Amino acid sequence: MADMVFWIIVGITIGSAFMVVQSKSLLYSAYALLFTFVGVTGLYVFLWADFLAVVQVVVYVGGILVLIIFGIMLTNKITSVNISHASMQKSAGAIVVLGFVGVLGYMVFNTPWVELANAEPAQTAESLGHLLMMDYLLPFEAASLLLLGALIGATTLSRKEN
Amino acid sequence: MTVDMLIDWFATIGDFPILSFLLAVIISGVPLFLIMALNAMVAVYVERKVSAFMMDRIGPMGQGPGLHAGKWGLLQTAADAVKLLVKEDTVPETSDKFLFKMAPYIIFIGAFLGLAAVPFSSVLQVADFNVGVFYIIAVGSIGVIGIVMAGWASNNKWSLYGAMRSAAQIISYEIPAGLSIIVPIMMAGTMNLQEMIHFQEGNVWGILPNWIIFNNPFTFIAFFIFFISAVAETNRTPFDIPEAESELVAGWMTEYSGFRWAVFFLSEYANMLVVSGLAVAGFLGGWQSPIPGMFDTGAWGLFWFMGKLILLIFVMMWFRWTFPRLRVDQLMHVCWKVFIPIAMFNIFGVGIWKLIFG
């Protein structure tokens, strides 16, 4: 049963990711991305990462995807802009993809994966919080400072000079 | 009765994993859909009546023999439903037909997923997640995608403006709502809705129920910020600039008719249920009785939860018929310059309170 659901989710993820790349219309790509994100959420659930799964929906579906669509729609004179994207430099792209698949495949087959007993971790959010606030406080704060800098930078750049 | 419990129970009868999974999903999903449909039908009638009474009218009434709306206009809601179902389903010639037809489903899925985690009583809950509170906030954002899709696919200026306003509004108000719901999470130390409700057992000072809203001043403020932001997230008046009929005809719903429009309607009312359910579970003690120690066994849980839910939905209707619509800039001002600073201060305050008194 779980296997079947897993493969359905994998199918949705890969199929919609293919749509994202293949679709000629930018907006269709963005909407196909919705299903990719939902599929990845399902994969997180299978890894018992419930908190991360929900974060995936909040950040990617609720934030990033809406921003992408918003950006397309806020484009000035939307009717005259050709909202499509075409593939370019196919041969160079193929080499990069093949190389990447090779590296990933090597990594997948040579990593000694630890197989956990089928036990559900009680509270992932709690242990995540402990890790972020105790063990990895400095990197966490550094990342938030970086994000704050990016936010202020984006606001400064997008403001019109008075 | 969660899906997991049903699956476990089926497993004791026999070993048919796929069949029992499907059966469990249907058994818990169909009532959820019925709740949605029933809620919309009842709420439409109540909304008509409430608006009428607030405007000193009498609303839908039976008017003598022949075609009339039954006693007290009770048949009005049935007539509404029939009208919506038999209405011609129009798809604009120049619209993006695939996305146009898809949008209602996405919005419906968003509302339906949220309803799945609402704890109607200590046993009646379709899915009891460890991260239930966060989950409801998260699936709420799926609806935005559907709204933007509907607005764009309609190929209509009003729809597009409505959709963009709606997306901006929902994304903005998710922040104060999310920051306020962190307050009960901090108090109860859990994101599981059932554990959160169990935390609110008993009473404080012997009289008040031990609900999170009465716990300290910060939680009291947090409830109101959450509730107002939740009303804004459901796109209801006074926060209905996405469909402001005096400016945008009907906003992102302009081109929809018949059943597709009915699906939007259903989802809007289901969203009211979901956000009220979260407010009740997070601040108002969920299915706990307001009189500690009395009437809190068995079906009373469902009664109290539904009672509180209906009260909050009534307050939403009250808002709708007593406040004028906010302007776009006022709406953003309230969200970003008033609610978010207060909500952040609240989190800080609750942290200090827990350190000193907790």
Does pLDDT of B65 surpass 60?
no
pLDDT surpassing 70 at residue B70: no
Using a CB–CB cutoff of 8 Å, tell me whether A19 touches chain B.
no
- Cβ-Cβ contacts under 8 Å for B326 (sequence gap 6 or more): B238, B239, B241, B334
> Is the per-residue pLDDT at B76 higher than 90?
no
Q: Report the SS3 class of residue B209.
A: strand
Give residue A147's pLDDT: 93
Residue B344 has pLDDT above 80, yes or no: yes
- The pLDDT score that the predictor gives to residue A152 is 92
Half-sphere exposure of B176 (CA within 13 A, CB side): 30
Centre a 10 Å sphere on the Cβ of residue B109 and count the other Cβ atoms it contains. 17
Q: Mean pLDDT, chain A, as a whole number?
A: 83
Among the ranges given (A62-66, B17-21, B88-92, B282-286), the one the predictor scored with the smallest mean pLDDT: B17-21
Alpha helices, DSSP H, located in chain B? 3-13, 17-54, 76-86, 97-115, 132-139, 142-153, 157-188, 193-199, 217-233, 245-248, 258-283, 300-322, 328-333, 340-357
Structural domains counted in chain A: 2
Q: Which residue out of B23, B113, B131 would a mutagenesis test of the A interface target, given it has the greatest number of A Cβ atoms within 10 Å?
A: B131
Structure tokens at A150: 């990016």
- Asked if the model's pLDDT at residue A103 lies above 90, the reply is yes
ipTM of the complex: 0.77
pTM: 0.83
Q: Name which of B18, B129, B145 is nearest A66 (Cβ-Cβ).
A: B145
Closest in B130, B144, B174 to A123, CB measured: B130
- In this prediction, residue A91 carries a pLDDT of 87
Ranking A72-76, B123-127, B334-338 by mean pLDDT, the lowest is A72-76
User: Is B142 close to A57, i.e. CB distance below 8 A?
Assistant: yes
Phi and psi at residue B204, to the nearest 5°: -115, 140
pLDDT of residue A67: 83
Q: What is the pLDDT of residue A149?
A: 94
Residue with tokens 């305050």: B349
Residue A92 lies in a domain: no
pLDDT score recorded for residue A77? 57
pLDDT over 80 at B172, yes or no = yes
On whether both A67 and A130 belong to a single domain, the answer is no
In chain A, what residues touch B131 (CB-CB under 8 Å)?
A: 50-51, 54, 125
Interface residue ranges in chain B relative to chain A, Cβ cutoff 8 Å:
17-18, 21, 99, 102, 106, 129-131, 134-135, 137-142, 144-145, 148-149, 152, 160, 163-164, 167-168, 171, 174, 191
Residues A66, B171: C-beta atoms closer than 8 Å: yes
Q: How confident is the model at residue B353 (pLDDT cuts 50, 70, 90)?
A: confident
Nearest-angstrom CA–CA distance, A88 and B292: 69
Going by pLDDT thresholds of 50, 70 and 90, the confidence category of residue A84 is low
Beta strands (DSSP E) in chain A are none
Pick from A48-52, A139-143, B126-130, B228-232: least confident = B126-130
In a domain, A6, yes or no: yes
CATH of the domain at A66: 1.20.120.1200
State pLDDT tens for residues A30-44: 888 888 998 998 888
- The tens digit of pLDDT for each residue in B135-164 reads 888 888 888 888 888 888 887 888 888 888
Instruction: Indicate whether A43 belongs to any domain.
Output: yes
DSSP string, A31-61: HHHHHHHHHHHHHHHHTT-HHHHHHHIIIII
- In this prediction, residue B290 carries a pLDDT of 75
Residue of B nearest to A57 (CA): B138
Q: In chain A, which residue's Cα lies nearest the Cα of B16? A: A1
Q: In this structure, is residue A38 part of a structural domain?
A: yes
Q: Is A31–B174 a contact, with Cβ atoms under 8 angstroms apart?
A: no
Same domain? For A13 and A70 the reply is yes
Q: Residues A109-139: pLDDT tens digits?
A: 888 887 776 666 667 778 888 888 888 999 9
Question: How many C-beta atoms surround the C-beta of residue A63 within 10 A?
Answer: 14
For residue A64, tell me if it sits in a domain: yes
d(CA B182, CA B219): 10
* A18-26, Cβ contacts within 8 angstroms, sequence gap of 24 or more: A24/A84, A24/A85, A24/A86, A25/A83, A25/A84, A26/A72, A26/A83, A26/A84, A26/A85
Contacts of residue B300, Cβ cutoff 8 Å, sequence gap at least 6: B287, B289
pLDDT at residue B317 in the model: 86
Asked whether residue A4 falls in the same domain as residue A72, the answer is yes
Q: Residue A25's domain spans which residues? A: 1-76
Contact B130 A1 (CB under 8 A): no
Res. B62 pLDDT band, cuts 50 70 90: low
Percent of all residues in chain B with a pLDDT value above 90, rounded to a whole number: 2
Question: What integer is the mean pLDDT of B180-192?
Answer: 86
| Chain B interface test: which of A73, A74, A78 (most B C-beta within 10 Å) | A73
Percent of chain A having pLDDT more than 90? 20
pLDDT in the model for residue B3 = 66
Establish if A83 belongs to a structural domain. no
Q: How confident is the model at residue A80 (pLDDT cuts 50, 70, 90)?
A: low
- Which of B108, B329, B167, B140 has its CA nearest to residue A68? B167
Percent of all residues in chain B with a pLDDT value above 70, rounded to a whole number: 89
Q: How far apart are CA A13 and CA B127, in angstroms?
A: 23
Interface touch A62/B99, C-beta < 8 Å: no
Mean pLDDT score across all residues of chain B: 81
State the pLDDT at residue B217.
Answer: 83
**Res B133: pLDDT:** 87
The alpha carbon of residue A58 is apart from the nearest alpha carbon of chain B, in Å, by 5
pLDDT at res. A86: 66
Averaged pLDDT for residues B258-265: 83
pLDDT higher than 90, residue B117:
no
Q: Looking at A21, A41, A76, which one is the last position of a domain?
A: A76
Higher pLDDT, B78 or B263: B263
State the nearest Cα–Cα gap between A141 and chain B, in angstroms: 18
Are residues B152 and A73, on separate chains, in Cβ contact within 8 Å? yes
- Res. B64: pLDDT tops 70: no
Tens digit of pLDDT for each residue in B284-318?
887 877 776 666 676 777 888 888 888 888 888 88
